């Protein structure tokens, strides 16, 4: 695998679809439910924590694998590489947001 594979349009679509779609969908509908008073955030939960959690849902290994085989006829090593890139991005982003939000929610010593 080369850097060409990382920035190939198929890799970007397979990686970005779940990453962008899941975080927008989950965070947006939680936000709307809270504004409509259908649901509320638990005591001590901040919006940053909810957003960080919604980032983790972009991992979606099984569905991305399924879509990549149907839409792009990707097979073998290329498909697994695309999926690894697609699942690494939400993990790093979700961890970063949760780590930063947990630091800001700690009481001052």
How is 58-73 classified by DSSP, letter by letter? T--HHHHHHHHHHHS-
Higher pLDDT, 81 or 61: 81
**DSSP-assigned letters across all residues of 20-88:** HHHHHHHHHHHHHHHHTTS--PPTT--HHHHHHHHHHTT--HHHHHHHHHHHS---HHHHHHHHHHHHH
Instruction: Please give the tally of structural domains in the chain.
Output: 1
Percent of the chain with pLDDT over 90: 12
Higher pLDDT, 43 or 11: 43
> 63 lies in a domain?
yes
> 109 lies in a domain?
no
> 1 lies in a domain?
no
pLDDT tens track for 79-89: 666 667 667 77
pLDDT of 1 reads: 59
> 92 lies in a domain?
yes
pLDDT of 21 reads: 80
Q: Measured between alpha carbons, how far is 87 from 22 in angstroms, rounded to an integer?
A: 12
Which domain covers residue 82, as residue numbers? Answer: 6-103
Decide if pLDDT at 107 tops 60: no
> 43 lies in a domain?
yes
pLDDT (average), residues 68-73: 64
pLDDT of 35 reads: 93
Decide if pLDDT at 22 tops 90: no
Residues 99 and 91 sit within 8 Å (Cβ to Cβ): no
């Amino acid at each position: 695998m080369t850097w060409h594979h990382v920035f190939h349009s198929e890799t970007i679509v397979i990686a970005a679809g779940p990453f962008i779609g899941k975080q927008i969908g989950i965070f947006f509908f939680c936000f709307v439910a809270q504004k409509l008073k259908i649901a509320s955030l638990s005591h001590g939960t901040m919006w940053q924590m909810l957003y960080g959690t919604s980032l983790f849902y972009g991992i979606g290994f099984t569905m991305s694998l399924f879509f990549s085989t149907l839409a792009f006829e990707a097979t073998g090593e290329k498909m697994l590489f695309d999926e690894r890139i697609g699942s690494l991005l939400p993990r790093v982003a979700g961890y970063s947001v949760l780590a930063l939000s947990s630091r800001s929610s700690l009481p001052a010593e």
